[in-house]
Amino acid sequence: MTEDGMSRIARQDTTASPSAVWNVLSDGWRYAGWVVGASRIRQVDATWPDVGSRIHHSVGLWPVLLDDHTEVLARTAEHELVLTARAWPFGRAEIRLTVTPSETGSHITMSEHVTGGVGRVLPRLVQTELVRPRNQECLRRLVLIAERGTHREAVE
């Protein structure tokens, strides 16, 4: 459990620098590329990832898609991004992504807890275990995109 009460549920190391990881996080149009469940991006606020800015996305599979949004609650450039993600009527979650430098690139952690909707009645431990595989896959995708960008920069 972290000091803010969130469970640290996914970790991933990468050879990509914190700057390369942050470049992916700060490009709202890439959100559906690394977030499991986000099927398309409809709009990204021009100020993304400033506090209060939003990504308007759809979740689900065609033809059953729910239109909703994810909003930035807090950020520290190249280090931390705190989001509130919505997928009503199912719920709302607060997600914290932290990027720290490592000897070989970066270490990324992702924590999440349900803040609204039907999932909120579940105990925190159950919530954690239910979303752990999804969030580990999110980080795996984020790393692949960041490393691909790093590789392209090295080649050019």
Identify the CA nearest to 16 among candidates 145, 155, 135, 124: 145
Domain range summary for the chain, segments of one domain joined by +: 8-25+72-155
Question: From CA 17, how far away is CA 102, in angstroms rounded?
Answer: 8
- Label residue 155 by pLDDT band (50, 70, 90): very low
Each residue's pLDDT tens digit, 14-42: 999 999 999 999 999 999 999 998 899 99
pLDDT value of position 1: 46
Each residue's pLDDT tens digit, 125-145: 777 677 788 899 999 999 999
pLDDT value of position 120: 67
pLDDT value of position 100: 97
Residues 6 or more apart whose CB falls under 8 angstroms from that of 51 comprise 72, 73, 74, 75
**HSE (side-chain half, CA atoms, 13 Å) at 104:** 7
Instruction: Specify which residues 70 forms β-bridges with.
Output: 55, 85
Each residue's pLDDT tens digit, 101-124: 999 999 999 998 888 876 667 777
Look at domain 8-25+72-155 and name its CATH class: alpha beta
